[in-house]
Chain A
Amino acid sequence: MLHHLTQPIAAAAPSRRTFLKLTAGAAGGLLLALRLPGQQALAAAGDSFAQPFVHIRADNTILVLSKHLDKGQGIATGLATLVAEELDAAWEQVSVEFAPANAELYKNLFFGMQGTGGSTAMANSFQQYRQAGATARAMLVSAAAKAWSVPAAEIKVSAGTLSHASGKTATFGEMAGAAAAEAIPQDVTLKTPDQWVYIGKSFPRVDTKAKTRGAAGAYGMDQRFDNMLVAVLARPPRFGSTVATVDDAAARALPGVVDVITVPSGVAVLATGTWAAMQGRDALTITWDDSAAEMRSTDAMEAELADLVAKPGLKAHGHGDAAAAMAKAARVIEADYQFPYLAHAPMEPLDITVLFDGSSATFWTGSQFQTIDQMVAGQVLGLTPDKVAINTLWAGGSFGRRAQPDSHYFVEAALIAKTRLAAGHAPQHIKVVWTREDDIRGGYYRPMMRHRVRAGLDANGNLLAWEHRIAGKSIMIGTAMEAFVVKNGIDETMVEGVSNTTYALPAFALEVHATKTPIPVLWWRSVGHTHTAYVMETMIDRLAKEAGQDPVAYRETLLKDDPRKLGVLKLAAEKAGWGAALPEGRYRGVAVHTSFNSHVAEIAEISFREDGTVKVEKVVCAVDCGIPVNPDAIRAQVEGAIGYGLGAILRNEITFTDGEVDQANFDTYQPLRMTDMPLIEVHIVASAEAPTGIGEPGTPPIGPAVANAIAAAKGEWAATLPLSRSGLA
């Protein structure tokens, strides 16, 4: 994801420069004074307190404005925790809403623009939101000191109440108006960890209650407005196809169908309701121009990659003279790995509502890159970004899908709205709905990838050399991000997890081949690590066996210079009882991987069903993500990340026949289900390091942990995913 713009803020100077450049280049036009509507309205009320991240209302409720999209990962609760902590608020008085699109106020400090991704939300907000809470608290205290004519230092704050030994007390709500008039302090002192009452204590989620009652109005899909039209599009059957001819007579004749509009991404049927729009779409007769389309089948695509990894590629990383070391090897272990295209398939398919009146536009959706969406939509509509408002809504999952460098679903909605207006229709809300088939067949996949690894060993099985080639479509090349993140032709998201491995490889050479295809590709929960961790961890397992060593012990030796990674490996091994005998028919596999600056080790225990398919019984996991702000949220993310990764490695793949996607819905792209879900134990390392990512790092190790468990049973490491291809799922 965008973590390659950023890298640990203090470290990598080049990456930091590129992200600053992105700020100036892409988002620079936005750094105008954009108004925060909520803030203005509240300020006018006179009895409330409104700062960009914290509003305190006269009724004693506190609103935290989340600059980040919450798509299930729980960041809304996380940010509320930070504010409540420093504010000394009572938990019950805190609620969360999403901040408006305003890059100046709400940028991701790692990206330089407003956006969520790369498991950066907590890491970039940890200081900022605590500061916001502490600032609000200081202003409340100073207002109370004035009102009561007592020294500020004598005022106590606890659970949303200000008090003084003299007996005076006030709720935050009662003091909000006065606090708003106080000067904003420039320096506030944050609590030390021993003073924390909320951080580290597993706060209940702010969104659970609503989500057990249908979450009225929370999601983009549920937006409803008077006189709204719903648009469903007939999308090209192949990537790169365009509309040649449309016969829409039958569609227009259907009840409820209002209009049919052709845009570059397909033919939109606009109707008074979703069902009518879907039926209208079915009634269209369209011929497509395939002259620029991807026409190949999966076999041919795989053959292309197999061909490429057999040839030298672009040098990406390495150290030592791998070729010379390889020449001295007594034995060479070689493996090719093939990974399929994967769809994100978030539970809520894409949707977006637009209202455009010619001089301004408003969107309602689970926007993940608000700044880019605002700019791109503005370009389409001929508006400056400040005339484009985005109401960010809770998203029913994303896993990367909503983080769009090309804002394609904003573009589509904007073009439809623009066409309607140009045809003389009055401005009206239009909701574009993607069906599940549109989602599964709609591209922006985790790219198909192939790896070739050659490990050279001496006569005793010791590692001498590691040669690695990776081929596939780059996520960054060909997008607006390319200029900022691709260096010398290398897209780090293709190689992360291999390029920065901390295994002590004596001599190492990494090469890449970036392929071209009209199939759009995108980051998918943990990005490059989705394939690199699998390759690294299954190869290491294989080398342990070649060396006649225990897989955990073998890793420990190679990881001696990476104490945190070593720490999770040891913790997981201890908790899983690694080395102890297993019941008949059970097998274990281990994997450990670092992504998004967090370290995760997973030990999978499997059995085989009568039909030979794998049942993952249990996963014991150890995670080090720095200070665990909300341990239960961390456990939830890791459980979910394991389930998400497991579903994919078991049976998910997007395949093509003559360029057409073979899968369409959950019957053919079969998601993980209740009966597939293992028992999961998550152990969190107590840490005083700054918080790092947790939305994604649980995903990479599950595939190789399961593959290594299968190898423990069968002696072979699956090199082609998903496992269903080899009858294992």
Chain B
Amino acid sequence: MATSLTLNGEARVIDADPQTPLLWILRDTLGLTGTKFGCGVAQCGACTVHLDGTPVRSCQTVLGDAEGASITTIEGIESPAAAAIRAAWTELDVPQCGYCQSGQIMAATALLTETPKPTDADIDAAMDGNVCRCATYARIRSAIHLAAEKMEG
């Protein structure tokens, strides 16, 4: 069965079981391995992608849910917020092992797009679902604030 969707700006028709989690379609079928597998049960956020601009857990979003939707992954996100986030991440050298960072960046970009000047409480609310076992949280928080400044300036 085929599912039609837009992936990183390109129209795609994907012929796979619509009950397959989007995570495995992205990683195994399409080779977009930037979206990571961390838990498979919506507990870690490593698999975060945007579905029509909203961050979702691709391990809990089946392919069929994406019918007609626009999906953006870490490979394809190129908004001003994403650029500011990446610049801030680089300036503060946020990543350690880096395995969680695709998800962190997708979540942070969504936050900054919605809330250009997030408070610490906004950051807590938006980012608490994204686990970092290297505990880069302090730098993630600083980098989100820095990215917000960059976007303003």
**Chain A contact residues, CB within 8 Å of chain B:** 71-74, 204-205, 207-219, 221-222, 224, 230, 255, 273-275, 278, 345-349, 394-397, 399, 433, 435-436, 632, 636-637, 639-644, 646-647, 665-667, 671-675, 677-680
- For the complex, give the distance between the alpha carbons of A224 and B28 in Å: 8
Please tell me the size bucket of the interface on B.
35 or more
- For the complex, give the distance between the alpha carbons of A213 and B34 in Å: 7
Known A-B contacts A204-B90, A666-B44; A212 and B36 likewise in contact (beta carbons under 8 Å) = no
- Asked whether any CB of chain A lies closer than 8 Å to the CB of B53, the reply is no
Which of A210, A213, A642 is in CB contact (< 8 Å) with B135? A642
User: Chain A contacts of B140 at CB under 8 A?
Assistant: 674
Q: Which residue of A lies closest to B73 (CB)?
A: A214
CB pair B93 A397 closer than 8 Å: no
- Asked whether any CB of chain A lies closer than 8 Å to the CB of B115, the reply is no
User: Chain B contacts of A71 at CB under 8 A?
Assistant: 97
- For the complex, give the distance between the alpha carbons of A224 and B29 in Å: 10
- For the complex, give the distance between the alpha carbons of A636 and B32 in Å: 29
Give the distance to chain B from A282, nearest Cβ to Cβ, in Å. 12
Which of B21, B36, B137 is in CB contact (< 8 Å) with A221? B36
A215-B34, A640-B136 known; 8 new pairs, CB 8 Å cut-off, are: A213-B75, A218-B98, A275-B28, A347-B134, A397-B134, A433-B37, A667-B43, A674-B127
Q: Which residue of A lies closest to B121 (CB)?
A: A675
Known A-B contacts A213-B75, A435-B40; A205 and B136 likewise in contact (beta carbons under 8 Å) = no
Give the distance to chain B from A683, nearest Cβ to Cβ, in Å. 15
Give the distance to chain B from A173, nearest Cβ to Cβ, in Å. 26
Give the distance to chain B from A367, nearest Cβ to Cβ, in Å. 15
**Chain B contact residues, CB within 8 Å of chain A:** 17, 20-21, 24, 27-29, 31-41, 43-44, 46, 73-75, 85-86, 89-90, 93-102, 105, 123-124, 127-141
Give the distance to chain B from A139, nearest Cβ to Cβ, in Å. 32
- For the complex, give the distance between the alpha carbons of A278 and B28 in Å: 13
Give the distance to chain B from A275, nearest Cβ to Cβ, in Å. 4
- For the complex, give the distance between the alpha carbons of A632 and B127 in Å: 24
User: Chain A contacts of B74 at CB under 8 A?
Assistant: 213-214
24 inter-chain pairs at a CB distance below 8 angstroms, sorted by A residue, are: A71-B97, A72-B96, A208-B95, A212-B86, A212-B90, A213-B75, A214-B73, A273-B29, A274-B28, A275-B21, A346-B133, A396-B100, A436-B38, A436-B39, A436-B40, A639-B136, A639-B138, A639-B139, A640-B136, A643-B134, A666-B131, A671-B44, A674-B123, A677-B141
Give the distance to chain B from A8, nearest Cβ to Cβ, in Å. 27
CB pair A275 B75 closer than 8 Å: no
- For the complex, give the distance between the alpha carbons of A436 and B135 in Å: 18
CB pair B98 A211 closer than 8 Å: yes
Q: Which residue of A lies closest to B41 (CB)?
A: A665
User: Chain A contacts of B43 at CB under 8 A?
Assistant: 665-667
Q: Which of B29, B75, B130, B133 has the most CB of A within 10 A?
A: B133
CB pair B95 A212 closer than 8 Å: yes
Give the distance to chain A from B21, nearest Cβ to Cβ, in Å. 6
User: Chain A contacts of B94 at CB under 8 A?
Assistant: 208
User: Chain B contacts of A435 at CB under 8 A?
Assistant: 40
User: Chain A contacts of B132 at CB under 8 A?
Assistant: 347
User: Chain A contacts of B141 at CB under 8 A?
Assistant: 674, 677
User: Chain A contacts of B129 at CB under 8 A?
Assistant: 673
Give the distance to chain A from B30, nearest Cβ to Cβ, in Å. 10
Which of A397, A666, A677 is in CB contact (< 8 Å) with B39? A666
- For the complex, give the distance between the alpha carbons of A728 and B10 in Å: 50
User: Chain A contacts of B135 at CB under 8 A?
Assistant: 639-644, 646-647, 672, 677
CB pair B96 A73 closer than 8 Å: yes
Q: Which of A395, A632, A639, A673 has the most CB of B within 10 A?
A: A673
- For the complex, give the distance between the alpha carbons of A24 and B21 in Å: 50
- For the complex, give the distance between the alpha carbons of A358 and B31 in Å: 29
CB pair A675 B124 closer than 8 Å: yes
- For the complex, give the distance between the alpha carbons of A287 and B44 in Å: 32
Known A-B contacts A212-B89, A221-B36, A275-B21; A345 and B133 likewise in contact (beta carbons under 8 Å) = yes
User: Chain B contacts of A396 at CB under 8 A?
Assistant: 36, 97-100
CB pair A347 B100 closer than 8 Å: yes
Which of A640, A646, A665, A678 is in CB contact (< 8 Å) with B96? A640
Give the distance to chain A from B80, nearest Cβ to Cβ, in Å. 15
User: Chain B contacts of A397 at CB under 8 A?
Assistant: 96-97, 99, 133-134
Q: Which of A224, A666, A680 has the most CB of B within 10 A?
A: A666
CB pair B29 A204 closer than 8 Å: no
CB pair A209 B90 closer than 8 Å: yes
CB pair B40 A230 closer than 8 Å: no
User: Chain A contacts of B123 at CB under 8 A?
Assistant: 674
Give the distance to chain B from A147, nearest Cβ to Cβ, in Å. 38
Q: Which residue of A lies closest to B88 (CB)?
A: A212
- For the complex, give the distance between the alpha carbons of A216 and B26 in Å: 13
Q: Which of A215, A230, A399 has the most CB of B within 10 A?
A: A215
- For the complex, give the distance between the alpha carbons of A612 and B133 in Å: 25
- For the complex, give the distance between the alpha carbons of A395 and B96 in Å: 10
The 7 closest A-B pairs by CB, nearest first: A214-B34, A643-B135, A396-B99, A72-B97, A211-B98, A72-B96, A222-B33
CB pair A214 B28 closer than 8 Å: no
Q: Which of B17, B46, B132 has the most CB of A within 10 A?
A: B132
- For the complex, give the distance between the alpha carbons of A204 and B129 in Å: 28
CB pair A208 B89 closer than 8 Å: yes
- For the complex, give the distance between the alpha carbons of A349 and B47 in Å: 14
Which of B89, B100, B137 is in CB contact (< 8 Å) with A677? B137
User: Chain A contacts of B24 at CB under 8 A?
Assistant: 273-275
Known A-B contacts A72-B134, A275-B21; A204 and B36 likewise in contact (beta carbons under 8 Å) = no
- For the complex, give the distance between the alpha carbons of A673 and B27 in Å: 26
Q: Which residue of A lies closest to B76 (CB)?
A: A214
Give the distance to chain B from A619, nearest Cβ to Cβ, in Å. 10
- For the complex, give the distance between the alpha carbons of A394 and B28 in Å: 19
User: Chain A contacts of B39 at CB under 8 A?
Assistant: 436, 665-666
Give the distance to chain A from B131, nearest Cβ to Cβ, in Å. 5
- For the complex, give the distance between the alpha carbons of A395 and B11 in Å: 33
User: Chain A contacts of B27 at CB under 8 A?
Assistant: 222, 274
User: Chain B contacts of A221 at CB under 8 A?
Assistant: 33, 36-37
Q: Which residue of A lies closest to B34 (CB)?
A: A214
CB pair A667 B41 closer than 8 Å: yes
User: Chain B contacts of A641 at CB under 8 A?
Assistant: 135
Known A-B contacts A212-B86, A214-B35; A207 and B28 likewise in contact (beta carbons under 8 Å) = no
- For the complex, give the distance between the alpha carbons of A672 and B136 in Å: 11
- For the complex, give the distance between the alpha carbons of A642 and B136 in Å: 10
Give the distance to chain A from B36, nearest Cβ to Cβ, in Å. 7
- For the complex, give the distance between the alpha carbons of A646 and B135 in Å: 10
Known A-B contacts A275-B24, A666-B44; A347 and B99 likewise in contact (beta carbons under 8 Å) = yes
Give the distance to chain B from A311, nearest Cβ to Cβ, in Å. 38
User: Chain B contacts of A208 at CB under 8 A?
Assistant: 89-90, 93-95
- For the complex, give the distance between the alpha carbons of A389 and B105 in Å: 35
User: Chain A contacts of B99 at CB under 8 A?
Assistant: 219, 346-348, 396-397
Give the distance to chain B from A560, nearest Cβ to Cβ, in Å. 34
CB pair B93 A204 closer than 8 Å: yes
Q: Which residue of A lies closest to B25 (CB)?
A: A275
User: Chain B contacts of A274 at CB under 8 A?
Assistant: 24, 27-28, 37
